Structure 1
């Protein structure tokens, strides 16, 4: 008997793409306001939301606006008026929102947004690449990375719970094509089950025309500093909230989650680290490396902001080599997840294991199991030091 059946709930089983799964996640959260501007490969999210609204299932106000910048401005205003708010975007749309992302976090507006990872121009493209969301890492948004359509639906609900608990906006991230447009079996939970997990939004700040007040006006240096310190404290609390949400959801559905998740990592000499859809490929590669006699393991980063440094360090500290698989690139530095992993280990450990940065799947190129196996072998034999990113051609 499943956890949901034991509680008297029966989920609806559907065949959904990742885009449609996040739309059903939003449906179950029942946001009051949904400002969205369409952009490939996010457009099916909006299309499904429109279908659900026309069917009378989605009761919130669905706003079509003239740009992504306007969409986020509307999100902030609605959130500060006391509404639960959802939106979605991708790539160039997220880049256009950048100014307003800072506004949302600074205003402590717990907006939830799905970003469908897509290559940034130029050149133009529609393929999976995590640089668009990772480039927003300093805006004050919580960031959660999903491996599958089911996890995407679940994480939308987690994001609302966490964001509204700490009053910071949250970004749920799925990859173009590999998650956004791939059909998978998905369980859509009953509304009554979601109600046990996600409480109604009770805003601490609510703009009211009857009692005029301003938000985001000119601050003194001390006030500005105080705002950033409060945001930092809230972001620190978000880590605990993410872990709590993962445990509670696991108890309700049987699908528990954590900020950083390990697979066959306890005795691993080489640990692969990645985020997003590559994780499934990496698990199979770990199994095959083990068959070859190479003690490999995997750590999947589900949470990126706040970065779960303690959890990552605990899972990586015993390895001989660490290989970070990045589907992103900070030009001039290399893989962004590798930067964060190195920083966490350097602070926490005296003589941390070497961290090797591998750039895989840039521009949406498929990452095969065989390619990840090559990484596992290469990581154990590559001469050190090796500070720069390692390209697929070097394997």
Structure 2
């Protein structure tokens, strides 16, 4: 709580602001997450996904960050150490352009405690991409006490919420524009939804986070086994890239979608599954959407992925739990 409050103060003073947290630490910040977005304080917060207690766990369940989906933060999800590094830079650019805070999440242990080669930007490259600090300071004079964003009425509050909502909706197009410049400087490219083997495949596996790398690596083997499979990795969760996802799944060739959810909203199921179903609901020939539940941080192994896809082709269950495979 106080850690993020310090970041709010730094952003209010016009500083380029960063912090990092995980699991219970992010939960403690919940109240101030709303304050940071409502106050339009640009900053980047990195979250290492870890399951919330009880019971205590060190496994990479994504519920800690997904629980914050309505706090008004841009949310980005990484599938590699390189993406963590790159998304921090992209997160700053997004946050400062839209005046909305950005949460960058990646899986605990699978990414946080493993070693990967990373191309690190030199100072000049980062400065060229981000530009000089030109953030609006909400504090007129340092060293004085201020009361920012005091009480307001419903009508004015509604207008502020509408403005924030509409600015959040612009994040997808801004991300795309920023990526063009990012690619020019760093030679790497990202999109809100990154697809492989789509829209040609008959089945699609939708993931977010480290699971995407497992799915990508398995695609040649799965297709050699007469399983026509493509993959889509969701890189931006808030705002949800509905149009970008539909682009890969709307042609009628994809008949079934399996969403890998390393989380669970009790009583509702996988959170990414809910979002994907809502996004595809308006399509004429929409595919059926099914959930592979890895809640608790269960590892997605190649054998589990193949078994889940074969099972999906036989009984069309809406929900398959990885621990049962």
What TM-score range do you get, normalising by the shorter chain?
over 0.9
Q: Is structure 2 residue 320 aligned with structure 1 residue 390?
A: yes
How many residues are paired up?
Answer: 322
Deviations 1:8-39 (Å, cap 9, x if unpaired)? xxxxxxxxxxxxxxxxxxxxxxxxxxxxxxxx
Q: How does 1:4-19 map to 2 (within 5 A)?
A: none
Paired with 1:313 and 1:266, the residues of 2 have a C-alpha distance of: 10
Counterpart for residue 195 of structure 2: 262
Given the superposition, is the C-alpha separation of residues 205 and 225 from structure 1 closer, same or farther in structure 2, using an over 3 Å criterion? farther
Does structure 1 retain, via aligned residues, the 8 Å contact 2:79–2:211? yes
Counterpart for residue 84 of structure 2: 152
SS of residue in 2 equivalent to 1:372: helix
Counterpart for residue 72 of structure 1: 4
Offset at residue 392 of structure 1 (A): 2.1
Counterpart for residue 283 of structure 2: 349
Runs of 4+ in structure 1 off by over 6 angstroms are 210-213
Offset at residue 107 of structure 1 (A): 0.1
Q: Is structure 2 residue 179 aligned with structure 1 residue 246?
A: yes
Paired with 1:132 and 1:185, the residues of 2 have a C-alpha distance of: 27
SS of residue in 2 equivalent to 1:187: coil
Paired with 1:135 and 1:196, the residues of 2 have a C-alpha distance of: 35
Offset at residue 245 of structure 1 (A): 2.3
Offset at residue 285 of structure 1 (A): 2.2
Q: Is structure 2 residue 120 aligned with structure 1 residue 188?
A: yes
Offset at residue 77 of structure 1 (A): 1.1
Q: How does 1:1-395 map to 2 (within 5 A)?
A: 69-209=1-141, 214-318=147-251, 319-346=254-281, 348-360=282-294, 362-383=295-316, 386-387=317-318, 389-395=319-325
Paired with 2:261 and 2:298, the residues of 1 have a C-alpha distance of: 12
Gaps of 5+ in 2: none
Paired with 2:189 and 2:227, the residues of 1 have a C-alpha distance of: 29
Does structure 2 retain, via aligned residues, the 8 Å contact 1:248–1:256? no
Paired with 2:54 and 2:323, the residues of 1 have a C-alpha distance of: 23
SS of residue in 2 equivalent to 1:364: coil
Please tell me the root mean square deviation across aligned C-alpha atoms, in Å: 1.6
Paired with 2:160 and 2:206, the residues of 1 have a C-alpha distance of: 34
Offset at residue 188 of structure 1 (A): 0.8
Does structure 2 retain, via aligned residues, the 8 Å contact 1:288–1:373? no
Deviations 1:156-176 (Å, cap 9, x if unpaired)? 000000000000000000111
TM-score by length of 2: 0.95
Deviations 1:271-329 (Å, cap 9, x if unpaired)? 00000000010112222111112210000000000100000111112311000011111
Paired with 1:175 and 1:152, the residues of 2 have a C-alpha distance of: 10
Paired with 2:26 and 2:145, the residues of 1 have a C-alpha distance of: 31
Paired with 2:52 and 2:324, the residues of 1 have a C-alpha distance of: 25
Does structure 2 retain, via aligned residues, the 8 Å contact 1:120–1:132? yes
Paired with 2:128 and 2:3, the residues of 1 have a C-alpha distance of: 30
Offset at residue 191 of structure 1 (A): 1.0
Given the superposition, is the C-alpha separation of residues 154 and 393 from structure 1 closer, same or farther in structure 2, using an over 3 Å criterion? closer
Deviations 1:109-159 (Å, cap 9, x if unpaired)? 011100000010000011111000000000000000001111100110000
Gaps of 5+ in 1: 1-68
